[in-house]
Structure 1
Amino acid sequence: MEQEFPIATYIALQQELNTERAQLEKEKATWKAIRATASETDINQLDEQFSTHFEYLFDVVHNSSGTSLREYRDLLNALLQKGASASLLSNYELEGYNLAMFIKDIYLINGSDNLDLAADIVRTTIIAGADLNRQKAYVGNGGINSLEQVCAYLALGIKYGYSKLTVEQYSFCYRIFPWIAHKQLPGDVANGHFEEPYHLFRRMLYASPDVEDMQEKTLLRIMTLGWSPFSIADELLSPRAFARIAVINPRWLTMLIPHEQQELKPYLDIVRERINPAIIKYLLNAFTSDKKIRKHLRTFFSRRPHWLLKKIITETPETIFDLVRRNEQDLLIPFLKHYKRGLMALRSKDNQTLLQFAMKCRSTVENTIELLRQAGVSTAS
């Protein structure tokens, strides 16, 4: 069904990421073995040459110099085979030319052949030990690293922002993502830490129909890496944090809170632990953004019992009374379908049943009251 979680795609992407990472680590191990046999003098010279050739890429990209990307791809690869490293590339966003800057400049490189060469250069530089965390490109009032830049581009889609990526340039970003992405460790979540690049993707997500499939797969890729959109300090989330996703594509919102499946257990373990009353409130803001989203959520939650509905009843029961007060019938229906007994046991702060509360609440309309009655919710205390 359309609204079911794309589990087959999720598993395939997880396997693809693991395969890509394993191959990259294998190539890194080969490079390290070669480098270990070189003399200190040779290493210093090789590293200097690698840095010099890489920095010349700025002129190739920005000034369309006579030298081609192919020539520099071959030069850098030849140095890699001798054990050269990318350790001398500048980390500072206002100095030199590094991998993050090259990736940021991808909007200046056109044509599938040139983009393939650019991808080769990125891979070679990563294998050569480029500092992916510390090398920054200048953006606004500060710098962002390679993963942050790629996540930003993947979120924005094509023909948007200063870069206005083409589909081919966007595909380049999607292609190199596995080489620079990394798992979020369970300890990061437990300590309240989070991987900023992945939240950057969520915050900057923009509707881009021509690359919607790759945007969705990027979201799934990030989920396989142990990331949760809820693993972030509450103060860093805006009340409309998830409404933005829902407006772009309601299906993406429900992908973040999937029904239970064994293959999703690692992800759901993190999600269930992290979702708190504040996040539930923000999710409800998203669920009720507009009529289309309400209908989508009604269908999604009505399919079968869902852990989030149960969590709301047991941990934030006041939420149910608020849904009644707001006449959110589309959202009340799944609760009544799967958790009627739990709803019947709820009491307001004035010790009212749900139906008593509805009947005495001035904002509640007759249709909501009738919905509760038809479901068998009584006024008996």
Structure 2
Amino acid sequence: MKKNFPIATLISARQELEASQRTLKSDKAAWTAVRKTLNDATRKVLDEQVNLLFARDICAYFWSAQKPDLDQVMMSLRQLYQQGASARSLNNYELGEFNLAMVVKSMMYIEDRQVLALTLELVQLTIIADADVYSQKAYMGNGGSVCLELACVGLGWGLREGDTCATTQEQYMACYQVFLWLIEKPEVMAAKYHNLDPFALFFGLHATGYGNYEVVAPIHDKVTCTMISLGFLPFSTSYPESEWSDMGSVSSFLGRTKDEKWINLLFPNEHPLLMRYLQAWEKAMIPAPLNILLNNFSASNTGRKIFKAYFSPGPHWLIAGMIRHIPGMLFSLVTRNEKQLLAPFLKNYKRQLSILQNEKGQSLLQYAQHTRGVKADTIQLLREANIPFPAYGQ
């Protein structure tokens, strides 16, 4: 098994991201120009009207049985924004008055396409009007989630039933559009958000019960490609204690996935357009999580087979990185007779393994022959790879 990374999808995803953010930037510049013409008193009056519209009419539309006319609400909101009204002073608290994050969360319950289109316009206009997307939250049972986090959750689940889950392709596409408006480079995200790793969140949710993938696969893979092209990693770098977003959870999940549909996305072959992602991986290669990553592939026969099939056909940066950063793990694999996990190392990195020694100066073959429990077929595998058996002291 050797699947190529979908470079065409990555290029398409980057083009969509750039076009979406270019339009948003242009519209925001036009809004800012109008805003600058206003005096403080006028700004205050207009902003209070936006706050009132969200607290009363927009809240009522999404949360009340008696709903106002959304077309009329949107007409009023457009007029306010066109006059330079700002959404910056909308409430941030997830249990407070209605805000932009609550609108994004509400998209998951909208089945009418026309209403969903108007809701998406509401989100876009409010972002343009300087809403505090980094702080406004909606209640998620965890103290609240910001707009980008909500979009990543909707995208991360696939199509499935449940709170904050997209159940239709239209809802999934709406989450994707919000994602395109709000995603930024990792270094920008780290400065503006508190403990939000969007790729870790997006991919970590797969392991807890991904919904229908085939229906949303083209968009799902564009989200993945966008994250990768920006240099995000599929595990947490700022919130390591999160159980769903550590490096090991990636392999644990893939090791349970029989059709291994995502392994080529997470561990692509080297390509010039993937340099930010590969550079981020290199920085993250430290012994403890790398050990967990490799061990989790050995947690099941499925994981072993996937590891061997995917990494054996040719040299791969992850295998090379493991030899550099956790060479001792190769001796552990020998002790455990993990022949399928050893196979990619022995096939593609014979020279590196031929000079590998443990703290006693033993080669892998010496270690195997002097270690109780190592089976004959494991020793034969090392011999076939021409691992040397030098005399001690050489």
Partner Cα distance (1:74, 1:333) in 2: 64
Contact 1:355–1:373 under 8 Å retained in 2: yes
Give the C-alpha shift of residue 7 in structure 1: 1.4
* TM-score scaled by length of structure 1: 0.91
Distance 1:2 1:340 in 2: 20
Q: Which amino acid aligns with 2:171?
A: Q
Contact 1:50/1:85, CA 8 A, preserved across alignment: yes
Q: Give the total of aligned pairs.
A: 378
> Structure 1 residues 227-236 or 256-265, which shifts more?
227-236
The answer to which of 317-326 and 354-363 deviates more is 354-363
Query: Which residue of structure 2 lines up, in the alignment, with residue 149 of structure 1?
Result: 150
**Which of 173, 176, 183 is 1:174 aligned to?**
176
The 1:42–1:18 alpha-carbon spacing in structure 2 relative to 1, beyond 3 Å, is same
- Is structure 2 residue 246 aligned with structure 1 residue 241? no
Q: Distance in 1 between matches of 2:189 and 2:137?
A: 26
**1:217 and 2:225 equivalent?**
no
TM-superposition CA deviations, 1:115-137 (whole Å, max 9, x none): 11111010011001000011111
Task: Say whether 1:29 aligns with 2:40.
Answer: no
> In the alignment, does 2:43 pair up with 1:77?
no
Shift of 1:173: 0.8
Aligned counterparts of 1:264 and 1:197: Cα–Cα separation in 2: 18
83-92 or 71-80, which deviates more: 71-80
- Provide the secondary structure at the position in 2 that maps to 1:327: coil
Query: Under a length normalisation based on structure 2, what TM-score does the superposition of the two structures give?
Result: 0.88
Superposition pairs for residues 36-115 of structure 1, below 5 Å? 36-55=36-55, 56-115=57-116
Residue 207 of structure 1, aligned match among 192, 207, 210? 210
Mapped to 2, the partners of 1:187 and 1:136 lie a distance apart of: 16
Alpha carbons of structure 1 residues 344 and 34: separation in structure 2 relative to 1, 3 Å: same
Provide the C-alpha distance between the structure 1 equivalents of 2:152 and 2:218, rounded to a whole number of angstroms: 15
How many angstroms does 1:2 deviate by?
A: 6.3
Instruction: Describe the SS at the equivalent of 2:36.
Output: helix
Judge conservation of contact 2:155–2:175 (CA < 8 Å) in 1: yes
The aligned residue for residue 378 of structure 1 is 388
Q: Which one-letter code corresponds to 1:173 in the other structure?
A: C
Q: 1:164 to 1:308 in 2, by over 3 A?
A: closer
- Confirm or deny: 8 A CA contact 1:35 1:84 kept in the other structure: yes
Q: Contact 1:195–1:227 at 8 Å: present in 2 too?
A: no
Matches within 5 A, 1:269-308: 269-308=279-318
Question: CA shift at 1:344, angstroms?
Answer: 1.2
1:172 positional shift: 1.4
State how far apart, in whole Å, the 2-side matches of 1:187 and 1:128 are: 20
C-alpha distance in structure 1 between counterparts of 2:180 and 2:339, whole Å = 43
Q: CA deviation at 1:310?
A: 1.8
**% of aligned pairs identical?**
36
Return the alpha-carbon distance in structure 2 between the equivalents of residues 375 and 367 of structure 1.
12
Distance across 1 between alignment mates of 2:289 and 2:67: 54
Note if contact 2:136-2:147 (Cα within 8 Å) is conserved in structure 1: yes
The alpha-carbon deviation at position 315 of structure 1 amounts to 2.4
Secondary structure at the residue paired with 2:139?
Answer: strand
> Compared with structure 1, are the counterparts of its residues 266 and 197 closer, same or farther at alpha carbon in structure 2 (3 Å cutoff)?
closer
Counterpart Cα distance in 1 of 2:377 and 2:188: 46
The unaligned stretches of length 5 or more in structure 1 are none
Structure 2 CA distance for aligned equivalents of residues 90 and 276 of structure 1: 41
Q: CA RMSD in A?
A: 2.4
Instruction: Give, in whole Å, the separation in 2 of the partners of 1:234 and 1:83.
Output: 42
| C-alpha distance in structure 2 between counterparts of 1:38 and 1:299, whole Å | 64
Residues 357-379 of structure 1 show CA distances to partners (whole Å, capped at 9, x for unaligned) of 22233332222222112222232
Q: Give, in whole Å, the separation in 1 of the partners of 2:142 and 2:319.
A: 42
Instruction: State the partner residue of 1:320.
Output: 330
1:91 Cα deviation from its structure 2 partner? 0.8
Residues 153, 205 of structure 2: 8 Å contact kept: yes
SS at match of 1:250: coil
